[in-house]
Amino acid sequence: MILTNNILLREQNTVLWVEGDQVDVLKKARDLIHRGHRLLTSPLAASGRMHFSPVRSILLTDEAEQPEEDSILAIENSLQLLETSLAVHRVDYKNKDDYGFIDNELLTQALNEINELDARYQQIGGNQFETGKTQG
């Protein structure tokens, strides 16, 4: 599933829309991860400058299973790091459209890589790469 507040992605049928900023997206991801969804992409931005973006998209598994310690630790640490960073710097709402474009490009690349890994895994006889079959 795609968890996002990026307006460019709002109409996609695989999107779970989050009203708010990037902290709200991470908090929603945290809640889902504690219910058993796993992270497929990093909850942190691609670069330090992107920490100031109000836009964030995160890929999670579609199906909830048992909560996974690695995903829980990653989202909790990411949320704490983001909140610490935002206590010092301001969110850059002025360039929100540009951040939305960049976020969309990064998400597209992540989906392509996951699909490529899934295809390779299938070629070697695997049943399913651990992506939760997220489609973009």
What one-letter code names the amino acid at 111?
L
- Yes or no: say if 75 and 20 are a contact pair by the CB < 8 Å rule: no
Domain range for 48: 2-124
Please determine, for residue 26, whether its predicted confidence score (pLDDT) is greater than 80.
yes
DSSP 16: E
Question: What is the number of structural domains in the chain?
Answer: 1
pTM as predicted: 0.84
Is 131 within a domain?
Answer: no
Is 113 within a domain?
Answer: yes
pLDDT (mean) for 80-85: 90
Please determine, for residue 135, whether its predicted confidence score (pLDDT) is greater than 50.
no
Three-state SS for 58? strand
Q: Which residue has the tokens 């400058």?
A: 49
Q: What is the pLDDT of residue 128?
A: 56
Q: Helices 22-34 and 69-88: crossing angle, nearest 10°?
A: 160
Of 2-16, 20-34, 55-69, 110-124, which gets the smallest average pLDDT? 110-124
Question: Residue 10, exposed/middle/buried by CB under 10 A (0-12, 13-18, 19+)?
Answer: exposed
Is 105 within a domain?
Answer: yes
Is 135 within a domain?
Answer: no
Q: Determine the Cα–Cα distance for residues 110 and 113; give it in Å rounded to an integer.
A: 5
The 10s digit of each residue's pLDDT in 39-75 is 999 998 777 778 889 999 999 999 999 999 999 999 9
pLDDT category at 136 given cuts 50, 70, 90 is very low
pLDDT (mean) for 69-84: 94
